Amino acid sequence: MTTLYNPLLNGFHPDPSVVKAGDAWYLATSTFEYLPGIPIHRSTDFETWELIGHVATRPGQLAVEEVPTAGGAWAPTIRHRDGVFHLVITDAMGRGMLHFTATDAAGPWSDGDLILKADGSGSVDGIDPDIAWDADGTVYITYSGLILEGAEIGQHLGIQQVKVDLERHIALEEPRSLWSGTGGGFPEAPHLYEVDGRWYLMIAEGGTERGHGISIARGDSPEGPFETAPQNPLVSARSTTRPVQNTGHGDLVIGPDGDWLCVLLGVRPRSMTRAFSALGRETFVTPVHWEDDGWPSIEPVQLNARPGTRVEVAFDQPLDGEWISIRSLPGDHADLASGALVLHGNGSTLDDPRPVFVGRRQEHLTNSVTVTTDASAGVGGLAVRYDEHFHVEVEAGQGSVTARAVISGLVQEWTIPFGGGILDLHIDSRKPAPTGGFPRTGDEFDLSVTIDGERTLLATVDGRFLSSEVTESFTGRVIGVYAVEGVVSFQRWIAEGDDE
């Protein structure tokens, strides 16, 4: 019997899509402005998932170098047909709606072809594309009709669909409107499935926040018309006290026991009002049942966290695929020739859109990172980032060590002198100490330094400031090392965490 862990993928892994090919399952998620883009995880049992590669590993596949914050790789759909993996996605405010292919999900993937409007004037306007084939091979791209550019930017047209010539990557018709849900805001994340001769259109509605949910309709054709399921929404945590909230944006698949499953996004909010989600949107899974009337039902998402983890990196070999950078690839910054991770500052800081930064997702609600650092020839340090407006860091160089909190233009610093040499920088995310009342924050950051064996706590920062609700971010916490000026060397990385 399969154990369904929740989260299925910890940390910043939103908008999941899953497909079975052979005897394995492949799962893709969004990455927004980070590279490498669109991670692909593989599992043979739906319990243990391995990161096997990324879709976007080369310049030009995604035009994220200049996208604004919250732009970039939005909401993939991954499918497999005739020995080929297909992935469609919107590079929001970048290239547009794209179709990638690969014969091996680990890559390499194609450069990505724009899905053009019928008149060839540019990319189809929309997000969250789905790709499906009917019995005669006709290709349908179904998507959420959010316009991202031009005079009508921000206008939402509901769920849309076009037939596409996949050889020329051009729509064969003007967009048609499909069933767009039960009236909830922001219909998105459409997926089409043919089950027992019927076509099911599953979407998310209610927005990706607390009102998020999944609804479904069915018809005799992928083009509709569609009949609304009487029990919609199929799943939602709205107005409940469940530990996993914002559940929605799901994709269906048959699991290892022959039972149907739904992978979907959710968050784990904490604090007195359970209002702050430190790690952002994560990937979850829940069972699906087909009822006698031919409609599916989806169970509420149950929290079932995995054991804690410890990651130790000595930087004496190439960086694994978990390392990501902002609007650039880790290889653009990381120099490993000396057996350490060396970064060369260029004057940019974490306030800039493209800092010299290499990091990993924070995967656990309680988390500690220590990095051994030599900043004798530069300025740099260890940071937790949501975006250029929200980050905390411990920075060394030029005769001092500084803890810093940057909260949307508000900056506070705590500094001690440092004579130079090697030191350990620490950022610990932990539950607040009991006060006898309701906890008013989900976690706190301890920003510390160890010099000559003596550890000094520089500052404690309220973790609510780095949550998806405060930052209004689609991503999550990413912890990494960075350089501002000169040459900064990082010799060892240790990250430990759990979800107790």
Phi (first) and psi of residue 230, to 5 degrees? -70, -20
Residue written as token pair 């004579």: 419
Rounded alpha-carbon distances, angstroms, from residue 132 to 72, 95, 128, 336: 23, 22, 13, 43
Distance from chain centroid for Cα 96? 18
Question: How many CA atoms does the CB half-sphere of 252 hold within 13 Å?
Answer: 26
Closest among 268, 322, 302, 305 to 467, alpha carbons compared: 268
Q: Which position among 91, 125, 188, 424 bears the catalytic label?
A: 188
Phi (first) and psi of residue 174, to 5 degrees? -75, 150
- Give the contacts of 366 (CB within 8 A, at least 6 positions apart): 429, 430, 431, 443, 497, 498, 499, 500
Residue 66: active-site member: no
Q: Is 6 exposed, middle or buried (0-12, 13-18, 19+ CB in 10 A)?
A: buried
Q: Looking at residue 345, what DSSP letter applies?
A: -
Alpha-carbon torsion, ordered 324, 328, 331, 333, to 10 deg: -100
Rounded alpha-carbon distances, angstroms, from residue 297 to 229, 237, 261, 300, 347: 10, 15, 10, 10, 54
Residue 15: active-site member: yes
Active site residue ranges? 15, 188
